[in-house]
Chain A
Amino acid sequence: MILVTVGTQLPFSRLIAAMDHITDSLEEKVIAQIGSQSEKPLHMETVAELTPVEFEKYMSNARVIVSHVGGGTILTAQRLKKPLIVFPRQAKLLEHRNDHQLDTARNLDSLKGIYVAWTEVQLEELVQRNDLIPAGSHNSKERVQLVNRLKLFIDE
């Protein structure tokens, strides 16, 4: 199963439309959490707003997760060790108020198991691949560094 999520705050019809189109030629089931978009996709199953627990259940059952560049989704994919394909929102298409998703995507491109689709064509290629590796370790040296800095701050 492929899980598509756009977060709960803003609609992202370009990603939903692209995934709906791709789903038409797939044999795999695709479930989409479409946020506040009113128009329903034709080929994907949709779910309403989920509680965090329910949402995590869907994520655990997915082969791959397709998402906007949401911080929460990235961390959850890493924790659950799922391959993650991200498709950035763009301010010029009125998909967000600024381009921080493009900026984040550029900085994530080297992370293990996180794949950036810059275009609809790349998105389709990535979804059809069966060699995607799970998103990587949760225990980077950067994370340990941050924890140690905060410990020092609390104690000083």
Chain B
Amino acid sequence: MTKRVLVVASAGGHWQQLMMIREAFDHHDVLYMTTKDGVAQQSGASPFVIVPDCNRNQPFAVAHSFFSITKVILRYKPQVIITTGAMPGFLALISGYLIRSKTVWIDSFANPEVMTMSGKYSKKIATLCLVQWEDLAKREGVEYAGRVI
């Protein structure tokens, strides 16, 4: 059955990790969300929306970004949200939690020893939280289910 799936990744490495797992969702009704114009077009990812980027050191940017992301989520009503980070992806999980979407956080492979801050928080709110290294999964009490490289 086709589902409405929102996939979220900041421009750069997070986006590239998302592109590595496209086959998991591209037969569904997908909406891509990223933070920089040109990124989705280059990957042939459509339809897409662009939301403002932010990080945890910029509270006003976080609020602005959260507002934009929530607006999209309330309109699209995704049944599933998948994100590879970073902060905007985490914000999407919060909005998804509020409207009871199923959510999955995939922590970046570029953090093999310690989970990212957003990843740690997502353990509490995401339906599924994955890390890409086996030893890290054991230490953090989350699931390991493969890696993009």
Contacts and interface: CB of A to CB of B under 8 A. Distances in A.
Interface string A69-94: 11111111010000000000000000
Interface residues of B, number: 42
A147 B24 contact: yes
A147 B15 CA distance: 15
A28 interface: no
Given A149-B130, A154-B25, A100 B114 contact: yes
Interface in B1-27: 1, 3, 5, 11-17, 19-21, 23-25
A146 B147 contact: yes
Contact of B21 (A69, A141, A150, A155): A150
Contacts, number: 119
A121 interface: no
Contacts of B24: 146-148, 150-151, 154
Interface string A28-61: 0000000000000000000000011100100000
A154 B147 contact: no
Contacts of A141: 146
